[in-house]
Chain A
Amino acid sequence: MTQTQHTNRPRGGSSEPLLSVRDLRVTFQRQGEEEFHAVDGVSFDVRPGQTVGLVGESGCGKSVTSLAIMGLLPGRGNRVSGSAIFDGEDLLTLSPAAMRDRRGSEIAMIFQDPLSSLNPVISIGRQVTEVMERHQGLSRKQATPKAVELLERVGIPDPKARLLNYPHQLSGGMRQRALIAMALACNPRLLIADEPTTALDVTIQAQILALLKELVVDTGTALVMITHDLGVVAGLCDEVNVLYGGKVVERGGRHGLFRDPRHPYTVGLLNSIPRLDAARGEKLSPVPGSVADNLPWTSACAFAPRCSQVVDACTRETPQWEGDQVVGHRCFNPMGGTR
């Protein structure tokens, strides 16, 4: 099993982390309602040139994690704790103004819905040049040829003409490309992509994923890829974090994780996806129940009611993380175990 051991470690594992998230917690408190731990102690590292995936079902806290790191959570009604060390500074304690300076220049973000993250009344070209004017102090004249270059690089045909277009005049795929161009405008060192292809068709998704892959290789940008699609993860990410109920329940290099998943939830997810290359009529084995059945993490494993591997301890205490910052899981009775 030495081979497993070896490939389980994602590439880039040796260099210093660029972003190091430790014990991130986000608690929402709405008037007249109980506290809700959307993110419940998440830790992970991102190294330069590495693509780290956060996967999980709707509501598991993927977006909130990224928004907390970016300092973009709505101001009231939430509490954030833990740390997110980026280049020696804790992003969570930076002043809003300092954070604004980092955003767009050193850390950039791409969202799921490109239409609502673009300003509908400003032309694409203007939106791209604005970022450069703000962060690099270029004049509009200087920025325009750069914008053309950027649009070309992300694969927008006829970029000069497109500069004058408004977001609604572009197709979904083109909008997402424009958004990526904006994110890349200042050569960020870290790119966070929150379901960047979920709203797109598969053929367009393939184009965007190929583009992201190429950018990571060319520029050495670190990429945090948030998605619910294990297929996307399998093709793109060096390291994968599987989230459930606000906690990372399993982590591993992509080859190791897919070959030898340990946490029953990861296994359940893999078994419940219909695969293009599987025979017809093969029954899927879904994860029973839904997230509504979750137990609180404080005194149990949240996944226990839906788990096929459940043992008595699962409903009595919180499973602790077993492993390190590179591979590990959080389960009393993990599956596989060949490594």
Chain B
Amino acid sequence: MNDTTNHTTDDSTDHSTDDRTEDARGARPTFGQRRKDRIDQLATAGTVDDEPGVSLIRSAWKRLRRNPIFLIGAAITLAFIVLAIISPWIAPWDVTARPLLDKVRPQSNPVPGPEPGHFLGADDRGRDLFSRLLVGSRQTLIVGVVATLFGLLGGLTLGTIAGAVGGWVDSLVMRIVDVMLSIPSLLLAFTVASLARNPSQWTLVIAIAIIQVPIFARLLRGSMLAQRASDHVLAARSLGVRPTAIVFRHMLPNALGPVIVQATLSLAVAIIDAAALSFLGLGNPDQSQPEWGQMLGRAQPFITEAPHLAFYPAGCIIVVALGFTLMGESLREALDPKTRR
């Protein structure tokens, strides 16, 4: 209400007359000059501070650093990776050793329970469950990461070719991709894995990589096409930039954002898929290299007497998958131009 009243009139005329008299007395050059300089400087284009520029990635990182969801996801993921690396050294027992073999009674007590020195107990062969869980993280990590990397590589190649070349190449690649996408992914992985004569961890990796390829290819091709129609690519064309440079300098880097987010989310899926395939007996049968999915599969006959045998590896899978998912989702949010200020 205050500002709609009339009472300040005197006040402000005071100021302006002050100034004018000062001007007249000869303060004019300095004051006028100062003002003029500033306006000249502004007249060009407004102010730009002298600090070095902040790239999109860095400003996204700045936002991410303060996002609790990302931090939780990152913490879980980091813990998982560190564990996977150092597990052989910190595991209290060798994974093939059977310290509790004498406690296993196939009829009355197939799965020995916790006891001092074996706080999760042992599995049906009398091997220390805790040690196997720890070491199991390794295989899980390798399968998940390597499969996603291979999938990403394949998808990037196909997507780049389709998106950059266009025309019939695009149509051909995309029809193949569509066919692959139309088969349920686990079924496809199952088929691929069962083709292998001797299932191993590499069968798993390849099977999972193959189901990831069409997802990445389609995603990348879509965002490449969007980039291709964008103004900044048109601007590069009109500048006379070479087509290959346009693809690799302008289209690909700008199209990668969603693919990177997808890769993080895919890691979670890859880990779960690997577990599923191992559970179905298509993974590495080598018991000296435990893997969470494989452990889960082996827990099946004892699910009524010893549910914890299934519970622990399943819990590990869920927590790790959750870590990657949280990270991926917050990454997506941070890279989304709409949330950028």
Contacts and interface: CB of A to CB of B under 8 A. Distances in A.
Direct interface between A and B, CB < 8 A: yes
B47 interface: yes
A237 B186 CA distance: 66
Interface in B26-48: 35, 38-39, 42-47
| B contact residues, range | 20 to 34
Interface stretch (A91-99, A134-142, A145-153, A288-296): A288-296
B8 A320 contact: yes
B5 interface: yes
A115 B7 CA distance: 47
Contact of B19 (A292, A312, A325): A312
B197 interface: no
B106 to A, nearest CB: 59
A120 B318 CA distance: 41
Contacts of B46: 288-290, 292-293
Contacts of B15: 311-313, 332-333
Nearest to B19: A311
Given A22-B1, A321-B3, A293 B11 contact: no
A305 B42 contact: yes
B16 A320 contact: no
Nearest to A328: B4
Nearest to A309: B16
Could you say which of A22, A308, A311 has the most chain B C-beta atoms within 10 Å of its C-beta?
A: A311
Nearest to B22: A312
Contact of B42 (A288, A321, A324, A330): A288
A160 interface: no
Contacts of A33: 341
A319 interface: yes
B9 interface: yes
B228 to A, nearest CB: 25
Contacts of B47: 289, 292-293
B58 interface: no
A311 B5 contact: no
Contacts of A313: 12, 15-16, 19
Per DSSP, are chain B's interface residues mostly helix, strand or loop, or mixed?
helix
Contacts of B39: 288, 308
A330 B4 CA distance: 10
A324 B35 contact: no
A77 interface: no
A157 interface: no
A41 interface: yes
A45 to B, nearest CB: 10
A191 B220 CA distance: 47
Given A292-B47, A293-B42, A293-B47, A324 B16 contact: no
Contacts of B44: 288
A292 B5 CA distance: 30
Nearest to B36: A308
A324 B5 CA distance: 7
A323 B6 contact: yes
A260 interface: no
A335 B54 CA distance: 41
Contacts of B66: 32
Contacts of A32: 66
B120 to A, nearest CB: 41
B16 A333 contact: yes
A312 B21 CA distance: 13
Nearest to A82: B1
Nearest to A310: B35
Interface string B310-341: 00000000000000000000000000000001
A306 interface: yes
A23 interface: yes
Interface in B232-269: none
A112 interface: no
Given A289-B46, A306-B42, A321 B19 contact: no
Contact of B43 (A288, A328, A331): A288
A32 B12 CA distance: 38
Could you say which of A22, A322, A328, A330 has the most chain B C-beta atoms within 10 Å of its C-beta?
A: A322
Nearest to A322: B9
Contacts of A332: 12, 15-16
Contacts of A333: 12, 15-16, 19
Contacts of A286: 43
8 contacts: A41-B3, A43-B1, A43-B3, A289-B42, A290-B45, A293-B47, A308-B39, A311-B18
Given A312-B19, A321-B4, 6 more contacts: A288-B42, A289-B42, A320-B7, A320-B12, A323-B6, A333-B16
Interface of B: 1-9, 11-12, 15-16, 18-19, 35, 38-39, 42-47, 66, 341
**9 closest A-B pairs by CB:** A320-B8, A289-B42, A313-B15, A288-B43, A288-B42, A289-B46, A321-B3, A311-B19, A290-B46
